């Protein structure tokens, strides 16, 4: 079963799958093994940035506007394992910021995901089918 990491958002978020993964990537540029985009209309962009809370550590910043902006690491496959993600909102002026993970990625309009809404403190599993989000 292929698993991919995602950050779905309305505002910019910082994403760190595990410490040190982005420390060798150039600041302000997308990591070479990641791609970004959006489901539906809008835009999404991943860039490596310096973590303001940790010295000598970089994070992945996903920014954009759209119903479901995402950042995906290419070539990840996990079987009988686990995936973790930590994230924080960057733009506190936006009332709802969401982050999480996706799996069973087929294309930009078809995948499963789990998202956490930081403003509401709620999480949900969903199915994105033909660009429409449905409760799973």
Which residue, among 103, 79, 99, 80, has the nearest Cα to 90 in the 3D structure?
Answer: 99
**What's the average model confidence in pLDDT over 120-130?**
90
64-81 residue pLDDT tens: 777 788 888 888 777 777
Q: Check whether 128 has a pLDDT greater than 90.
A: yes
The b/e string for 45-65 (b: 16+ C-beta within 10 A; e otherwise) is ebbbbbbeeeeeebbbbbbbe
| Residue from 86, 79, 115 nearest 19 by CA | 86
Helix and strand numbers, DSSP H then E, in the chain: 0, 9
Rounded CA gap, 84 and 114, in Å?
11
CA dist., res. 133 & res. 113, Å (int): 10
Sheet holding 132-135, edge to edge: 3-6, 98-107, 110-117, 122-129, 132-135
Region 18-42 average pLDDT: 82
Name which residue leads in pLDDT, 68 or 12.
68
pTM over 0.75: no
């Amino acid at each position: 079963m292929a698993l991919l990491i995602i950050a779905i958002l309305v505002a910019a978020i910082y994403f760190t799958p595990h410490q040190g993964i982005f420390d060798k990537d150039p600041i302000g540029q997308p990591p070479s093994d990641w791609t970004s985009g959006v489901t539906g209309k809008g835009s999404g962009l991943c860039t490596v940035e310096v973590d303001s809370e940790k010295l000598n550590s970089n994070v992945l910043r996903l920014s954009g506007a759209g119903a479901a902006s995402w950042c995906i690491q290419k070539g990840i496959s996990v079987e009988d394992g686990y995936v973790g993600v930590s994230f924080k909102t960057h733009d506190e002026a936006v009332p709802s910021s969401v982050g999480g993970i996706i799996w069973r990625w087929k294309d930009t309009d078809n995948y499963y995901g789990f998202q956490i809404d930081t403003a509401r403190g709620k999480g949900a599993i969903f199915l994105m089918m033909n660009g429409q989000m449905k409760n799973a």
